[in-house]
Structure 1
Amino acid sequence: MTSDASMKQSKWLVDDATNEHIPKILALFHAVFGQDMSEAQWDWKYGGGRGAGVVVRKDDEIVAYFGGMERRILFNGIPVTAFQSGDSMVAREHRGTLSKRGPFFLSVAAFQDRYLGYGRPYLISYGFPNERAMRLAERLGMYTQIGALFEIYWPAEASVNFRSVPFDFDDGGHRNALETLWHSMAEEFDRRAIGVRDLIYLAHRYRDHPVHSYIIHLVFDSGDRVLGIVVARKAKHRLVLVDFVGRRQEFRNLVCYAKSLADKERCSEMFGWMTDIDCNLISGTGEKPKELPLRLPFGVYREGLDPEELRDRWFFMCGDSDFW
């Protein structure tokens, strides 16, 4: 289906992305980012109705793509399906067209017009654009900032205060522990917006990822009390702290465990994300936040939820994106 946003343009056509577009979208991804996305990774993100996107064409050439994935969240304690903006790309030779007639604007506008806002499939959206894309989208009236998150670094540090076991998705005791941990976490964030972290989510997001291998540990203190679940991934000399499931009062302990895991994995440091309003939950762990935070957007091109209802309400870590 061709979007109405394209009807006013003589140069570009905007269509819903379909299976026939996939090879050209993957080729555009390689040209823009200098790396490949396999068909398996595409299917992990978009297959089975998990995602949607639009393409901007010049004749048969795809010059831009904007799309993303569904994410089950809790908003004020109520289950909602949100949309994570995951992939935005424009062919290099067309990036100079940064006006409301250009392919970047058309891809985002057409997507929001079709999928986001009142009377459309998704009322809530989020994403993690780089600063250049964020500034451009703000200038074009597509996004407004509703929060920020910090990139944080920690030194690796050994500890004897914890023990852990790999999380076994088939073990009944582990599954029950996850259910209890997530239930407690959800209750503590019941006036916030937070992505669901249940068994179905962890299995698809981490266990079944077609490219990355994740360390998923059930963590205990020295007295065998369950502290939470830590998800991490090695990236060269660094351990990426990807995700937590647990109560807020245990976040410092989970960070300290992850630092000890970085030491065991022979990483020199650990890296992670934390929304700025939650950084107090991990203070005193040797954290070193990057000076300038990443800004969090909310789509405002079409009438929908008031941005103030989501301002400083999200809880995000690295795993809430699709690229860590």
Structure 2
Amino acid sequence: MSEYRPEHRPQILEFFRDAPFKNDIWNWQYETNPGALACGFFPIVKLDDQGVSGFNGVMPVSIKYGQDVVEGLWSCDFYVAARVRGKGLGKEIKQELLERAPVILSFGVSPTAAIVLEKMGWSKSPEVWSFRRIITASSFKDRAIQCLQSVMKLAFRIPLDLSLNLTFQSELPDAREVNALWQEAAPTYRKIVCRTYDYLNWRYQKHPLASYEFLVARDESGKLQGMLVLREHEGVVRVVDYIGCSDRPSMLKSMMKAAVLRYHGARLWLAVTSDPALKRVFFSEGFFLTRSAPRLYVHSHRGLGGVKDASEYGWFVMGGDSDGEFLSAARENWLNVKGGITSRHKSS
């Protein structure tokens, strides 16, 4: 394998012609995320006599795995040039990837890639669910689903937490509050990407082609208790992330009800989660499970209690963990401005 150099970038971007905005988010995604700033950007690059022949992007990230915090990787943007396919290069790239970190994650894996990953010892998490809530019906099928949604709301009743003060903000609370919330929440999860202020600030406030809204929950004393991250585009609202302690159904119910009222003109709601409490809350708000959900695959050299977790239960993931979410956000905005921009980094 060859060391990545800036002159490789134009050739790599040629691999992703279906994502014309890729150049606009490259620095943000790969070179200014907190992990890369701390450790550097070291993707896997393969060269031949025609230039770059293979690429696997990586994003370093801190992961709480059991009682420990480990430095792991998100694997993304894997590509092998057509001229060298069928010669084992893809497997060679993935084999080197396995040596880069003790825990490696890949979210939104295609069926074809899933077969390869499983042969190489990756494990699929069985606990990721995808949800929808249809507001505007455009067909008989949609109206039938709306009837199901009403039944779900009746079947999964959750009391509200009326003591909370809920506000919608265009910016995160300050770093001290967010980090204190994460320190309180972290012990309530088994496996989760660390939701520190630096990570959230990069992920949601610094995205060069997307805007997110934060629903902030505080108790009567003003202490930060939880946050939902939301994104709306042309009447479609996505519940992107949750930051707070696990298993707070009444708080989450209050937050989701407030969010639905906030976006009362939405035609469709979408959400992805592995969290059982959020699953119940989504049902209580009339969401239904879709037939397919993005696949989360994990390769880990670690185990909990000395036993390797072959099925990788216990992960907390949301749609915001997936590079698919920030690519979707980039695509939607890039298409709106017809050509992309590079100067929308927020100063916060």
- TM class by shorter-chain length? 0.7 to 0.9
The equivalent of 1:43 in structure 2 is 27
Is residue 20 from structure 1 mapped to residue 2 from structure 2 by the alignment?
Answer: no
Contact kept in structure 2, 1:242 and 1:319, CA below 8 Å: yes
The equivalent of 1:71 in structure 2 is 61
Please state whether the residue corresponding to 1:294 is helix, strand or coil. coil
Mapped to 1, the partners of 2:222 and 2:187 lie a distance apart of: 24
Mapped to 2, the partners of 1:80 and 1:176 lie a distance apart of: 22
Is residue 178 from structure 1 mapped to residue 157 from structure 2 by the alignment?
Answer: no
Mapped to 2, the partners of 1:210 and 1:79 lie a distance apart of: 29
The equivalent of 1:110 in structure 2 is 96
Judging changes above 3 Å, is the alpha-carbon distance between structure 1 residues 89 and 316 closer, same or farther for their aligned structure 2 residues? same
Judging changes above 3 Å, is the alpha-carbon distance between structure 1 residues 275 and 165 closer, same or farther for their aligned structure 2 residues? closer
Please state whether the residue corresponding to 1:16 is helix, strand or coil. coil
From 201, 204, 219, the counterpart of 2:202 = 204
Judging changes above 3 Å, is the alpha-carbon distance between structure 1 residues 291 and 235 closer, same or farther for their aligned structure 2 residues? same
Judging changes above 3 Å, is the alpha-carbon distance between structure 1 residues 281 and 77 closer, same or farther for their aligned structure 2 residues? farther
Contact kept in structure 1, 2:123 and 2:312, CA below 8 Å: no
Larger relative CO (CA 8 A, sep 6+): 1 or 2? Answer: 2
- Offset from partner CA, 1:245-296 (integer Å, 9 cap, x none): 1223435643553454355343212211111656555353322112234332
Contact kept in structure 2, 1:131 and 1:294, CA below 8 Å: no
How far 1:182 moved relative to its partner? Answer: 1.9
The equivalent of 1:55 in structure 2 is 45
Please state whether the residue corresponding to 1:73 is helix, strand or coil. strand
Mapped to 2, the partners of 1:112 and 1:144 lie a distance apart of: 13
The equivalent of 1:9 in structure 2 is none
Mapped to 1, the partners of 2:276 and 2:262 lie a distance apart of: 30
The equivalent of 2:116 in structure 1 is 136
Contact kept in structure 2, 1:259 and 1:270, CA below 8 Å: no
From 229, 239, 246, the counterpart of 2:244 = 246
Judging changes above 3 Å, is the alpha-carbon distance between structure 1 residues 221 and 132 closer, same or farther for their aligned structure 2 residues? farther
245-254 or 81-90: which moved more?
Answer: 245-254
Contact kept in structure 2, 1:248 and 1:281, CA below 8 Å: no
Contact kept in structure 2, 1:28 and 1:62, CA below 8 Å: no
Contact kept in structure 2, 1:109 and 1:142, CA below 8 Å: no
The equivalent of 1:164 in structure 2 is 167
Contact kept in structure 2, 1:227 and 1:254, CA below 8 Å: no
Aligned partner of 1:312: which letter?
A: Y
Contact kept in structure 2, 1:152 and 1:273, CA below 8 Å: yes
The equivalent of 1:287 in structure 2 is 287
Between structures 1 and 2, the one with greater strand share = 1
Mapped to 2, the partners of 1:255 and 1:154 lie a distance apart of: 15
Contact kept in structure 2, 1:145 and 1:295, CA below 8 Å: yes
In the alignment, structure 1 segments of 5+ residues that lack a partner are 3-14, 116-121
TM-score by length of 1: 0.75
Give the fraction of aligned pairs with identical amino acids, expressed as a percent. 20
Contact kept in structure 1, 2:249 and 2:277, CA below 8 Å: no
How far 1:322 moved relative to its partner? Answer: 2.8
Contact kept in structure 1, 2:74 and 2:105, CA below 8 Å: yes
Contact kept in structure 2, 1:26 and 1:36, CA below 8 Å: no
Mapped to 2, the partners of 1:250 and 1:73 lie a distance apart of: 22
- Offset from partner CA, 1:210-249 (integer Å, 9 cap, x none): 1211112313589988551111112333111111112234
Please state whether the residue corresponding to 1:216 is helix, strand or coil. strand
Aligned length: 287
Aligned partner of 2:46: which letter?
A: V
Please state whether the residue corresponding to 2:28 is helix, strand or coil. helix
- Offset from partner CA, 1:184-211 (integer Å, 9 cap, x none): 321211xx11111121111111111112
Contact kept in structure 1, 2:175 and 2:197, CA below 8 Å: yes
From 295, 302, 305, the counterpart of 1:305 = 302
Is residue 316 from structure 1 mapped to residue 317 from structure 2 by the alignment?
Answer: yes
Contact kept in structure 1, 2:125 and 2:298, CA below 8 Å: yes
Judging changes above 3 Å, is the alpha-carbon distance between structure 1 residues 110 and 73 closer, same or farther for their aligned structure 2 residues? closer
Contact kept in structure 2, 1:165 and 1:219, CA below 8 Å: no
204-213 or 285-294: which moved more?
Answer: 285-294
Please state whether the residue corresponding to 1:29 is helix, strand or coil. coil
Mapped to 2, the partners of 1:25 and 1:284 lie a distance apart of: 45
In the alignment, structure 2 segments of 5+ residues that lack a partner are 32-36, 136-149, 151-159, 326-348
The equivalent of 1:12 in structure 2 is none
Please state whether the residue corresponding to 1:17 is helix, strand or coil. coil
Judging changes above 3 Å, is the alpha-carbon distance between structure 1 residues 299 and 250 closer, same or farther for their aligned structure 2 residues? closer
